[in-house]
Structure 1
Amino acid sequence: MSNQIHLEIEVPAECAGQRFDQAAADLIPDYSRARLQTWIKGGQLTVDGRSGKPKDKLFGGERLVLRAELEPQGEWLPQKMDLDIVYEDGAILVINKPAGLVVHPAAGNPDNTLLNGLLAHNAGQQNIPRAGIVHRLDKDTSGLMVVAKTLQAQTDLVDQLKERSVSRLYDAVVQGTLSGGGTVDAPMGRHRTHRLKMAVLPNAGMGGAKEAITHYRLQERFRSHMLVRCQLETGRTHQIRVHMAHIRHPLVGDPLYGGRGKLPQGATRELVETLQQFSRQALHAAELALIHPESGEPMHWQAPMPEDMLQLLTLLRADRKDSGPGSV
C-alpha cells in the first residue's frame, strides 16, 4: 500500500457557501473530516494553490489539491502472534479474538495486545489511527472483530457503526430464567464511585450518560441459567454485561457485574465447580455482518463458540436432563 496521496478536485457550484472542511469532506469521502482538517491546517490540502483554514468559505470553481503522506499513528511495537484470521483482503481483516487478549495498549497492558499483533501481521496498519481498530471487545470476551486496512475502509466502517448498519450478535450464558426475549433501552455512563465500572444512569446526556440499546433473545433455558443471543444497537463499553446485570440476569463469570451466582439445587460437583471457577464473562461475539467498504457487497461471518463456553453448556444440559424437562 502506497503511503503517498495525491488528489486534485474542482469545487462544484453546489458547494458554494460551504466551509473548506465541509466541502472537502463531501468531495473526498474516503477520509474522515477530522483528518481532512488536519491536512488543511498542515498545508497538505490547499485551495487554488494556497493554504487555508477549515472555516474558510468556498465559492465554487476553486481547485483543491491534496498532497499528503500517511504517517505512523503511534509508537507501538509490532509483536508477532498467532491471529485467528477469519477473512482478509486489501481493505479489511476479520479476526476471531480469543478470550484473554487485550485489544489496545493501555495502562497496565502496554504491549502484547491485538494491536501489536496487527502491526506484525501487516506493517501498513501503523499508518491508520488505532492500527485500523474500529470497535473493541473486552479482554475476556471472545469472538469476531473487523479491522480496517486502509484509511478509506476505516472511514467507511466508522460511518457504518454510527449508522448502526453493522450487525453484531453475541452469545451469553446468564444467571436466572426468563420466558422470552426483550430489549434493554437504558442509557449508560461511567459508574460514579467505581471508576472501572460502567453503569445504567437515569437519563442520556446527564453525567456523561449515552444512549444504549441491547436486544436479547432466549436461545436455551436451563434450571437456573439461560443461553441468550444479544444484538447490539449501540456499542457502549461493557454494554451487554451492564444491561443484563441491570435486568438481574448477569453473565456467568463476570468479575465486575456478576455478583454471587446462584447454583442449581442438587447440581453435580463438576457443574458447581465449573460455575464457581468460570474464569471470564461467558460472552462470545458469534456473528458479524456489514457492507464491504470497497465492493459495497453485504458480508457475514460466524465464529464457533469457544471450548470453555461449550463445556459449560454441556454440563448445564446434563443437569437439566437429569432433573427433568425444561428446554426451550
Structure 2
Amino acid sequence: MALPETPESNPSDYIDEEDFIALEIPMEGGGERLDKALATLLPEYSRNRLKSWVEAGAVTVDGKVTKARFMLRGGESIKVFPQEMPEQFAFTPENISLDVVYEDSSMIVINKPVGLVVHPAAGNWRGTLLNALLFHYPELKYLPRAGIVHRLDKDTSGLMVVARTAEAQTALVRQLQERAVNRRYLAWVWGSTPSQGKVLASVGRDQRDRLKMAAGVSQGKPAATQFRRLAQGHFQDHPISLLECRLETGRTHQIRVHLESLGFPLIGDPVYRKKIPGIAKAIGLERQALHAFALGLEHPATHQVMAWFQLPPADLMGLMTQLHLNETDLPSESATISSMGNAN
C-alpha cells in the first residue's frame, strides 16, 4: 500500500493542514476492511485507537464517514484526523449554550465567546464547541470534526461557520483552500502602526518553545495577513493602535504571530509579548484583544454571497474608552458587509 501523504506534501487540502493524514488506497488493496488497512498504513497507532477514530467520525473515505468494517474497493482517498485525547470524552454531547447568528439546513454561523475551546485537545477534553455542537445538532456526529472547518483560539471571540452536511463541509473547505472566505478581525495592539500593510511570513512551530508559533521559520507554512489602522489611542502615554486584519491564510495564531513579528503585540496576549510595555498589566485585560467581527462566504448550497457582522464583546468595548478611542472608530455593519460583498 502507498505510504501516508503528509500535510507538508499536500499543503492545499485543509484550513489547518497539520491536522490530518491523507492516504491513498491502491487498487490491489480492494477487498480489505478499512480498520485493517489503517492498521497496516499507520502502524504507529494501535488498532483500537484507529477503530475508535473511525467510529467517532474522524476518518473519511472519499469524503464520507463510514464504519470500521467498511470493505474497500481500491483507489479510495482516506483522511485520518488524529484525535490525541480520550475519544469517549471528546465526542460526548454537552449542553453548552451557543450564540447562533444564522442557521439553515446547510450551515451554522456562531458567535464564539471568549474561553470556549473549539476542538478537544490536551487539557481540554470536554466543554468545547464540538461538544456543544453535538448536543444542539446531533446529526453532526456523522461529519468529521462535527462539521467544524476552521477555528478561533480559545480566547479569541467572534464569528465562525460550521457545516451541517458533508456537501456543505466540502464546499466550505474548498472556499477556505481557495482563500474565498472573507474573515476580518479587530485587533488592539501596542504601538503606532503604519496606516496599512501586509505581512507575508511563514508561520510554524517555534523551535525554542514548542507551545508557541513563530514567523519566518524555515519549516513553517506560507501565511499572509492584511491590516489597516482604524484609529490610534494611548494608555499612560504609550501608543495604541486599533487594526482591522484580514486573513488570506488560516495558520495557528497567525494574526498574533504576524503582528508581534512587526513589533506590535496584541494587548492582553499572554503568549506573544516580547515588546509589550511594562504597564501592560495595568489595562487588566485577561486575554488577547482579538475579535473576528466579520465573515463573508458563498452559501454552499444556494451559492448566494452572504456576510455577517458582530460587534466586539463587553471586555473589548470597554477598551475603547480606556484607550481613549471612540466607538465610531469601529467598522459599521453596513459598510463592512457592503465591502465584503464587493470583495467576494
- TM-score, length of structure 2 as denominator length: 0.69
Q: How far is 1:188 from its partner?
A: 1.0
Between the aligned partners of 1:312 and 1:278, the Cα distance in structure 2 is 9
1:279 aligned partner: 286
Give the corresponding residue for 1:62: none
Match of 1:292 among 280, 296, 299: 299
Q: Deviations over 1:94-136 (max 9, x none)?
A: 0000011111111100001111000010100110000000000
Give the match for residue 114 of structure 2: 99
Gaps of 5+ in 2: 1-25, 28-58, 77-86, 327-344
* Alpha-carbon contact 1:78-1:120 (below 8 Å) kept: yes
Indicate whether 1:36 and 2:43 are aligned: no
| Contact residue 231 and residue 325 of structure 2 kept, 8 A | no
Whole-Å Cα distance in 2 between the matches of residues 199 and 111 of structure 1? 28
Q: 1:194 to 1:296 in 2, by over 3 A?
A: same
| Count of residues in correspondence between the two structures | 255
Q: Deviations over 1:188-224 (max 9, x none)?
A: 111102011000125xxx42x1000000000001131
Distance 2:61 2:271 in 1: 37
How far, CA to CA, are the matches of 1:103 and 1:262 in structure 2?
31
What value does the CA root-mean-square deviation take over the aligned residues?
A: 2.6
Superposed CA deviations along residues 31-51 of structure 1, whole A, max 9, x for unmatched, are xx9632778998979xxxxx6
8 Å Cα contact 1:94-1:145 kept in structure 2: yes
Question: Are 1:54 and 2:65 counterparts?
Answer: no
Query: Whole-Å Cα distance in 1 between the matches of residues 155 and 123 of structure 2?
Result: 15
Within 1, Cα distance between the matches of 2:270 and 2:206? 15
Separation in structure 2 between the aligned mates of residue 237 and residue 273 of structure 1, nearest angstrom = 25
- The amino acid of 1:293's aligned partner reads P
Q: Does residue 1:214 correspond to 2:235, yes or no?
A: no
Stretches of structure 1 lacking an aligned partner (at least 5 in a row): 1-18, 21-32, 46-50, 56-73, 265-271, 320-328
Correspondence list, 1:1-328, <5 A: 35-36=61-62, 52-54=73-75, 75=88, 76-202=91-217, 206-207=218-219, 209-223=220-234, 224-259=239-274, 261-262=276-277, 274-275=282-283, 277-317=284-324
**Who wins on radius of gyration, i.e. which is larger?**
1
Please give the alpha-carbon distance, in whole angstroms, between the structure 2 residues aligned to 1:96 and 1:124: 21
Give the 4+ runs in structure 1 shifted more than 4 A: 37-45
Code of the aligned partner of 2:62? L
Deviation at 1:53, TM superposition (A): 1.3
| Structure 2 counterpart of 1:216, one-letter code | F
Shift of 1:179: 3.7
The AA in structure 2 aligned to 1:219 is: L
Give percent identity, aligned residues only. Answer: 46
User: How many angstroms apart in 1 are the aligned matches of 2:141 and 2:67?
Assistant: 22
Residue 315 of structure 1 deviates from its aligned partner by 1.2
Q: 1:154 and 1:162 mapped to 2: Cα distance?
A: 12
C-alpha separation in 1, matches of 2:325 and 2:305: 39
DSSP-derived class of the 1:317 partner: coil
Q: Summarize the Cα distance change of 1:41–1:259 in structure 2 as closer, same or farther, 3 Å threshold.
A: same
Question: What TM-score, normalized by structure 1, do the two folds share?
Answer: 0.72
- Write the distance in 1 (CA, Å) between the matches of 2:310 and 2:199: 25
